[in-house]
Amino acid sequence: MFLTNTEEIPGKTIQVCKGVVSGSTVRAKHAGRDIMASIKNIFGGELVAYTELLSESRDEAISRMKQEAQEMGANAIVNVRFSTSSVAAGAAEIYVYGTAVVVK
Amino acid sequence: MELIVFITLLALGYFFGILAEKKHFKSINKREKLHLRLPTTSLKRPLGTLPPVTESSLVSGNVVISVDYCKRILAGLRNIFGGQVSAYETLVDRARREAILRMKESCPNATQLINLRIETSSISKGAKQQIGSVEVLAYGTALYCRPDDSVYFT
């Protein structure tokens, strides 16, 4: 499965367009991590717990999108876009969408 | 008692914050020099003439950085008078550069990186106790060419 955020895949040609696919996930870290983050907040610096949380949920969203594309019979997703929003304190919603295509 | 706690937090934030920021900027500058060889653009097509592309993949890097207690207070004061809030400027600058670097580090063998997009959001928005942190995600498409083609881009 090829994934790009460009409109076409260099070196390949798009043959069939299958439509829009998307994946989303909402995740939160346990309270312990949240407390750690608020302590870290006094000193400033990277909040590793939240970085991990977001990259994990991004992977999860991408894999859901890939699954949807596979069910459609596509072998690539082009023009992938990410969007992040916070639904509640300490929880993040990651939404990823793209266009499923068949390339050769 | 409350005043003591406040001053302690302020002092801790001030010293550790400055230290952490200096260290971070130093490491960013060092790593940015290492990754200068990888051309990165926000264009939709590859720059110059590339040898046949063998592989392309989506790459991304993200980071969450928070501002220290002292700077948050200073930024709050700045809010009253208006003007440039340098405390938050350096925060987002650090976060963006770090995210781009992480993205580049995830594809050391790429020939070129195109269609770079950067997205900034705050994950703790709406929280009662406002956490001054930003989340930056940088993503793009890494192009890989055959390693024997020495002309990378003209």
**B67 contact A CB<8A:** yes
Tell me which of A28 and A47 has the higher pLDDT. Answer: A47
CA atoms within 13 A on the CB side of B45: 4
Residue B154 domain flag: no
Q: Which helix (H) or strand (E) holds B151?
A: none
Chain A residues whose beta carbon lies within 8 Å of the beta carbon of residue B127 = 89-90
Residue B153 domain flag: no
User: Cβ–Cβ of B9/A42 closer than 8 Å?
Assistant: yes
Rg, Å, chain A Cα set:
17
Please state, rounded to an integer, the average pLDDT across all residues of chain A.
85
Q: How far apart are the first and last CA of chain A?
A: 12
- What six digits make up the tokens of A53? 């949380």
pLDDT at B152 over 60: no
Report the amino acid identity of residue B43: L
CA distances (Å), origin B64, targets A48, B20, B54:
7, 14, 33
| Domain span at A54 | 2-103
Q: Would you tell me which residues 13-32 of chain A have a C-beta closer than 8 angstroms to some C-beta of chain B?
A: none
Q: What is d(CA A92, CA A54) in angstroms, rounded to the nearest whole number?
A: 7
Task: Give the model confidence (pLDDT) of B29-55 as tens digits.
Answer: 999 898 888 889 898 888 877 778 888
**ipTM, interface predicted TM-score of the complex:** 0.83
Residue B106 domain flag: yes
Q: How many CB pairs under 8 A join A and B?
A: 132
Give the number of domains in chain A: 1
Laid out side by side, the sheet with A91-103 consists of: A2-3, A76-88, A91-103, A14-28
Task: Give the model confidence (pLDDT) of B46-91 as tens digits.
Answer: 887 777 888 888 999 999 888 888 888 888 888 788 888 888 888 8
Q: Which residues contact B25 (CB under 8 A, 6 or more apart)?
A: B94
pLDDT at B98: 93
What's the maximum distance between 2 C-alpha atoms anywhere in chain B?
69
Nearest CA in chain B to A94: B123
CA distances (Å), origin A44, targets B26, B41, B65, B123:
16, 31, 7, 16
Q: What is the CATH number of the domain that holds A38?
A: 3.30.110.70
Chain B interface test: which of A27, A50, A78, A83 (most B C-beta within 10 Å): A50
User: Cβ–Cβ of B17/A4 closer than 8 Å?
Assistant: no
| Domain span at B116 | 2-145
> Of B39, B53, B122, B129, nearest to B88 (Cα)?
B122
Residue B151 domain flag: no
Residue B85 domain flag: yes
User: Cβ–Cβ of B53/A11 closer than 8 Å?
Assistant: yes
CA distances (Å), origin B50, targets B39, B42, B147, B152:
12, 16, 12, 6
Q: Which helix (H) or strand (E) holds B114?
A: strand B112-121
User: Cβ–Cβ of B64/A46 closer than 8 Å?
Assistant: yes
Chain A interface test: which of B67, B141, B146, B149 (most A C-beta within 10 Å): B141
pLDDT (average), residues A20-37: 79
Q: What is the CATH number of the domain that holds B30?
A: 3.30.110.70
User: Cβ–Cβ of A47/B114 closer than 8 Å?
Assistant: no
pLDDT band at A32; cut points 50, 70, 90: low
Closest CA of chain B from A28, distance in Å: 10
pLDDT at A6 over 50: yes
Laid out side by side, the sheet with B53-66 consists of: A45-46, B53-66, B133-145, B112-121
pLDDT at A23: 93
Question: According to the 3-state scheme, what is the secondary structure of B82-110?
Answer: CCCCHHHHHHHHHHHHHHHHHHHHCCCCC
Tell me which of A10 and B136 has the higher pLDDT. Answer: B136
pLDDT band at B148; cut points 50, 70, 90: low
User: Cβ–Cβ of A41/B128 closer than 8 Å?
Assistant: no
| Cα four-point dihedral sign A21, A54, B61, B125 | positive
